[in-house]
Chain A
Amino acid sequence: EAQVTQNPRYLITVTGKKLTVTCSQNMNHEYMSWYRQDPGLGLRQIYYSMNVEVTDKGDVPEGYKVSRKEKRNFPLILESPSPNQTSLYFCASSWTAGMNTEAFFGQGTRLTVV
């Protein structure tokens, strides 16, 4: 089954404790991205990757890191989480560089930073 898998689905952590949210897709997509979803703000892009070893900042990259060492994986790293990073996070992938084709989203990761 074609899918984007994120882990964990739920995470509660403390301020300053490094964490990684994993994202994997099995569709051989070139393009992957991370979004955060906050009430009233829709989906805002954090980082995106056009292909292996190519990453770039989205609209809200501060406090986040990403890597793309393999085509299928695109982990999101929070080196020192803060309460304002409490949010619902989505990983997405699509065929092409650029989101001009259908984006496939993961199930989401609800992160709470206390």
Chain B
Amino acid sequence: GENVEQHPSTLSVQEGDSAVIKCTYSDSASNYFPWYKQELGKGPQLIIDIRSNVGEKKDQRIAVTLNKTAKHFSLHITETQPEDSAVYFCAASETYNNDMRFGAGTRLTVKP
């Protein structure tokens, strides 16, 4: 089955700096890669996703890149703000598979 590894487990940046979180996956059949943000006391919420036919996707200060050959994908947050502080999860799944696998999570702290 799919195995997703996520790094780093904790990340601390200064406000205004960029943050990058990286994930690798094992199943070459995986074709959907979402990122979820979990704020304190809340459930995870989708912030951006990418499918295997796309190499990069941007939404304002957030971008995700996918390298299918190397089987890794990354979340990039630019101009970080204190409200970006949260736990971020990457995940991978395949269209006809009911098994979405999550990474272990990255706790991002943005210092004002």
Contacts and interface: CB of A to CB of B under 8 A. Distances in A.
How many chain B residues sit at the interface, stated as a range, is 20 to 34
Given A42-B6, A99-B100, A105 B93 contact: no
Max chain A Cβ within 10 angstroms of own Cβ: one of B31, B36, B98: B98
B76 to A, nearest CB: 20
Given A99-B93, A100-B32, A41 B43 contact: no
Interface residues of A, number: 26
B43 A105 contact: yes
Given A42-B104, A100-B32, A102-B49, A107 B98 contact: no
B100 A42 contact: no
Interface string B86-112: 000101011111111011110000000
11 contacts: A42-B103, A98-B93, A98-B98, A100-B32, A100-B100, A103-B36, A103-B44, A103-B46, A105-B36, A107-B41, A107-B42
Nearest to B97: A98
A98 B89 contact: no
Interface stretch (A12-20, A43-51, A74-82): A43-51
Contacts, number: 64
Max chain A Cβ within 10 angstroms of own Cβ: one of B89, B93, B99, B100: B100
B14 interface: no
Contacts of A105: 36, 43-45
Interface string A60-96: 0000000000000000000000000000001010000
A48 B94 CA distance: 16
A43 B44 contact: yes
B9 interface: yes
Contact of B89 (A43, A99, A107): A43
